[in-house]
Chains A and B, each alone.
Chain A
Amino acid sequence: MRVRQTAGVLLASPWILTFLAFWLFPLIYSLFLGLTDYRLLQPTYSWVGFQNFINLFSDTIFLNSLKNTFIFVFGAIPVTTIISLIMALLLDKSFRGRTLFRSGFFMPSITSMVVIALIFTNLYSRGGYIFLLAQMAGFSPPGNGFLLSNKTALLSIMAMDVWMSVGYYMLLFLAGLKSIPIELYEAADVAGAGRWRKFYSITLPLLKPVTLFIIVINTIKSFQVFIEIFVMTQGKYNSSSAVYFIYELGLNRFEFGYASAAAYLLFMIIAIFSFIQFKLMKQG
């Protein structure tokens, strides 16, 4: 029995060691750094307790980045969820070319985020197709393009993110729709229920676990928004997010102590939101 236990530990040790060295240790060490004023090139550092966390709450740049992150989360998630649900309902029906549409909508999800961000940077610029389309539709886009304005930069990035994500979530909704027993719809037909009634009373309640799952993973992903901002605006034009703030502080200014504190604060926010959502999921 003991030999088996030792063998088990030995066999698992590569993973355990990797976990300890590259996951657990950095996690704990970064918490420790968050309580110091450590800067990479500084020879010494001192313990500051929770001062970094306190400073974050009066740091207008951080608060603005956090505000943008919340706008991103609460703006993009409902839109993404609703559009992907509508698309899934439409593509759940049988019609010619359905597979083509499904593949087409899913395509952005498997394309590199950097490539998409670069393409959209061009589309949003003055003279880009989206800019020209907006002009043709009678809108007056910002003079220098959508990404060079405080008013539209973040919204433009959010719109691109919605476009990019809906295909993936549509696929999850489609899987959810397939799992709903057909008998329920047949029973509703016998009872004389209309299309909307069936949707409200059968489809929507039975899609609740999938919907909550989508909202949870999309929330976590949206709180971590970074690549789009890095490529498209470099955090300029009031589009910086919390993760971009941490990147700028940690990897450009090497203020590891303060950046670690900001990272932990973001971690706590995500953890709280995820906890609430999982609670809701359990209730569902």
Chain B
Amino acid sequence: MKTKSFIPFLMIISLLGIIACSGGGRKGEPITLEWWQFWTDPAIKPTIEKIAADYETHNPGVKIRLTDLTWGNGHEKIVIAFSSGTAPDIVELGSDWILEFSSSGQLAPISKDIIADTAKFYGWPPAIYNNDIYAFPWILGTRVLYINRGLLKKTNLDSNFVPVNWEQLKKLCYKIDSLGGGIYGFGSNAAEKHTLYKKFLPFFWSNNARIVSEDGKYSVISSDKGFAALKYYKELSDSCGMVDTQRRLEDAFLAGKVGVIISGDWLLKRIRNEKIDIDFITGLIPGPEYPGKSFVGGEYLAISNKSQNKIEALKFIKYLTDRENELLFCKTNYSANPANEEATKDSFFADDPALQTFIMQLNLSRFPPADPQWVYIEDIIETMLEDVLFNGQPVAESLYKARNKIQKLIDEKRK
């Protein structure tokens, strides 16, 4: 009896619940766009919030709900959100993550809605899968040479000397290294995950070597050009390199213990924010043909395939990446490399030689191949580099082993 009288009560409660929950999305009510992003640094977060608030002001029907992610576990959270169907409308993705989500059907294709914008932005290659675009480039990041001018002045080279080819780079590093007293010529990265290959590929690409043939059918990493690049990098690392993690190499560079390192624009920000007293110059990556090519990665904005607000989400993405907002972001963050080409022409970059180096290098940078198997190829390249640099394995043999492993992956994929 008691149970029977309880049922109508439960039904009423459920009905009320349904009515309460079904309110969102009605005509005239604001749309809430969920946006997951990684910029949590107190220096830049207020700018992100301001851009979102400005958008809300200009678009009264839209609310932006920000969620912060960290680089420590952000990727895991995004993967879990997509696989459980709870992904936000807009998500910030690293350039090397886009493919795993686009190839598994988690991202909305946006090609037809942004076709007019493609010429105005850098950095499309990682966003493309099966001839469709799945993410919008926002902030890019390339690497350039940093030269400690305090150490450079102690050699007999000109105090503005910037190497333009491999011989000059070697000469510069040797001269600094020969100063002695625990000073190294070149900062050579230890085998940190996702780091070492980024430092080697600029040499590899600058020598016009390729990992995979243009038609994607063959592994060509062990070409003569690839061999020459790896041999050169090993010589540089062995003869005058301080081998350590990226962070510790940067510490050593800032402390005047390393003459030349390859790093990104985050180091410029660090020098400025920590008010580090250092005399340095930046230079483009040297190579057999100057300027050489560098590695580039970046931050992209993508829309979940399950989003109910795709049109509004894309509108917001376009707002975030317009010239003014990209500039506002770069000025606050003191970083170069906005994806918006128009923004790169601003005097903010032109007036700052260090930032200008990054802008120039950006045009000469490459992304890793957009291949769902890249994560495995990256692993193979890193293992090859470790074998050669730290375990005394012969260059040619290691390259050949890597070639075979990559070819096996290609063959498996083609099957």
Using CB atoms and an 8 Å cutoff, list the residues of chain A in contact with chain B. Answer: 40-43, 125-127, 144-145, 148-150, 234, 236-237, 251, 253-254
A126 to chain B, nearest CB (A): 7
Contact in complex: A237, B390 (CB < 8 Å): yes
State A33–B196 Cα separation when bound (angstroms).
Answer: 34
Contact in complex: B390, A40 (CB < 8 Å): no
The interface residues of chain A lying within 8 Å CB-to-CB of B341 are: none
Residue in B100, B182, B190 whose CB lies within 8 Å of A41: B100
Contact in complex: A41, B83 (CB < 8 Å): yes
The interface residues of chain A lying within 8 Å CB-to-CB of B375 are: 253
> For chain B residues 81-138, which have a beta carbon within 8 Å of chain A?
82-83, 100-101, 104-106
Given A144-B243, A254-B79, output 11 extra A-B contacts at Cβ < 8 Å. A40-B79, A40-B80, A40-B83, A43-B105, A148-B190, A148-B243, A149-B391, A150-B386, A150-B391, A236-B386, A237-B191
State A127–B182 Cα separation when bound (angstroms).
Answer: 10
Contact in complex: B79, A125 (CB < 8 Å): no
Contact in complex: A41, B82 (CB < 8 Å): yes
Using CB atoms and an 8 Å cutoff, list the residues of chain B in contact with chain A. Answer: 76, 79-80, 82-83, 100-101, 104-106, 182, 190-193, 242-244, 375, 386, 390-391
State A126–B241 Cα separation when bound (angstroms).
Answer: 12
State A107–B106 Cα separation when bound (angstroms).
Answer: 49
State A133–B193 Cα separation when bound (angstroms).
Answer: 29
A155 to chain B, nearest CB (A): 15
State A73–B192 Cα separation when bound (angstroms).
Answer: 26
The interface residues of chain B lying within 8 Å CB-to-CB of A144 are: 190, 243, 390
SS of B interface (majority) = mixed
State A253–B376 Cα separation when bound (angstroms).
Answer: 10
Contact in complex: A125, B244 (CB < 8 Å): yes
Least CB separation from B100: chain A residue: A41
Contact in complex: B79, A41 (CB < 8 Å): yes
Least CB separation from B103: chain A residue: A41
5 nearest A-B pairs in the assembled complex, by CB-CB distance = A41-B104, A144-B243, A236-B191, A150-B391, A40-B83
State A43–B105 Cα separation when bound (angstroms).
Answer: 8
A26 to chain B, nearest CB (A): 15
A284 to chain B, nearest CB (A): 44
Least CB separation from B382: chain A residue: A236
State A145–B79 Cα separation when bound (angstroms).
Answer: 36
A237 to chain B, nearest CB (A): 7
A68 to chain B, nearest CB (A): 15
Contact in complex: B101, A41 (CB < 8 Å): yes
State A126–B249 Cα separation when bound (angstroms).
Answer: 13
The interface residues of chain B lying within 8 Å CB-to-CB of A253 are: 375
State A234–B242 Cα separation when bound (angstroms).
Answer: 20
State A127–B243 Cα separation when bound (angstroms).
Answer: 11
